[in-house]
Amino acid sequence: MVTTQIELTEKQMKLLKKKAALQKSSINEMVQKAIEALIKSNVSDERGNRSRAIEAAGRFRSGKSDLSTNHDKYLSEDLGK
C-alpha cells in the first residue's frame, strides 16, 4: 500500500463520513472502492468505444466510390465550408 494525502471540501468529508457510517465501512475503504470503480469504468469505456467504432466500420454506404480519397472535400461540402 502507498500512503497519500488528498484534500476534500468540508461538505465532501461530512458526506463521506456519513456514507461510511451507513455502510459500516471506513473512509479509507470508501475512497479505495471509489478509485477502483473509476479505474474500471475508464477501462471499460475505452474498450466500449473501440468496440462500437469497429462494429460501425463498413456499415454505411455513401454512394461515392472515391470517398476514402476525397473525404475532406465531401466533408467541407456537407458542412458548407
- Region 50-67 average pLDDT: 83
pLDDT band at 80 (very low <50, low <70, confident <90, very high): confident
pLDDT band at 61 (very low <50, low <70, confident <90, very high): confident
Dump pLDDT digits (tens) for 29-38. Answer: 999 999 999 8
Sequence-separated (6 or more) residues with CB below 8 Å from residue 70: 64
Summarize the chain as % helix, strand, coil (round to 5).
Answer: 70, 0, 30
Predicted pLDDT at 51: 79
- Region 15-30 average pLDDT: 95
pLDDT band at 60 (very low <50, low <70, confident <90, very high): confident
Cell numbers for 15, please give them. 458526506
